Amino acid sequence: MSEAIRVVIVDDHQVVIDGFMARLEMEPDISVIGTASNGVEAVELVKSLEPDVTLMDISMPIMNGIDATNMIKESLPDAKVLMLTMHNNREYIMKVMQSGAVGYMLKEISSEKMVQAIKTVNQGSTYFCEKVTQTLFTQPVTPSQTLSNPLSRREEAVLKLVAEGASSKKIANLLNISYRTVETHRQNIKHKLDIHSTAELAKYAVMQGIVD
């Protein structure tokens, strides 16, 4: 049996934390290893415990979840932060994507979907609940967003697999190249596009028609 997914919960309302913990404790393959009530606490806790997945609220005192995620990603680039919030507007979603979070869920999400989201991002994919996806992709794509694509064909192939949630190791196997080469391609892609999170890369790939 594989090890349980280690989760940290960050929210400024204890009743929310208690509710999440009660639900997640029902899952044999998920273990809540710590909680925090603001962004400052969250940064220190995640650096200390290095959880597999962090459930992060956005609106909190002292430091909000977006700033906390930025700081966490600076120290732990591979950290997986899943945003959980009441806000479903494009501005918030874009800020979350730019922070490096790998998912965005509304607090009204069902407990089953929350468990699914944790497992999905732990496996290296991104997760956006249905309402957030509709908000993000219902606006029409402008011509300027689709005409210029600076990526090479190999970079496009790597980006397609990244957007589909494949890890660098899996991409290396699929494309028959080394892990280091995949990482170099990923860095080049981010540099060319000025994009610094997997969620943003996935959005770009969809907008360019690289993935369906």
- The CATH number of the domain where 190 resides is what? 1.10.10.10
pLDDT in the model for residue 143: 41
Cα–Cα distance between 93 and 136 in angstroms, integer? 7
Cβ atoms of 201 and 124 closer than 8 Å: no
Residues 54 and 100 in one domain: yes
Instruction: Please give the average per-residue pLDDT across 5-29, as a whole number.
Output: 91
pLDDT in the model for residue 145: 42
The mean predicted confidence, pLDDT, of the chain is 83
Residues 94 and 123 in one domain: yes
Residues 150 and 131 in one domain: no
Residues 121 and 151 in one domain: no
The 3-state DSSP class for residue 34 equals strand
Q: Which residue has the higher pLDDT, 1 or 116?
A: 116
The DSSP call for residue 205 is H
Residue 212 burial class via C-beta count within 10 angstroms: exposed 0-12, middle 13-18, buried 19 and up: exposed
Q: pLDDT per residue over 133-153, tens digit each?
A: 666 566 544 443 443 567 778
pLDDT in the model for residue 141: 45
Residues 148 and 133 in one domain: no
Residues 112 and 173 in one domain: no
Residues 43 and 74 in one domain: yes
Query: Poorest-confidence range of 11-20, 25-34, 50-59, 151-160?
Result: 151-160
The range of the structural domain enclosing residue 169 comes to 143-207
Instruction: Please give the average per-residue pLDDT across 76-90, as a whole number.
Output: 82
Residues 123 and 160 in one domain: no
Residues 54 and 68 in one domain: yes
Buried-exposed string 22-44: b where 16+ CB fall within 10 A, e elsewhere: eebeebeebebebbbbbbbbbbe
Q: Which residue has the higher pLDDT, 98 or 23?
A: 23
Instruction: Please give the average per-residue pLDDT across 190-201, as a whole number.
Output: 81
Nearest one of 91, 96, 100 to 57, comparing CA atoms:
96
Confidence grade of residue 89 (pLDDT, cut at 50, 70, 90): low
Residue 183, both tokens: 């990482």
Residues 109 and 172 in one domain: no
Residues 153 and 75 in one domain: no
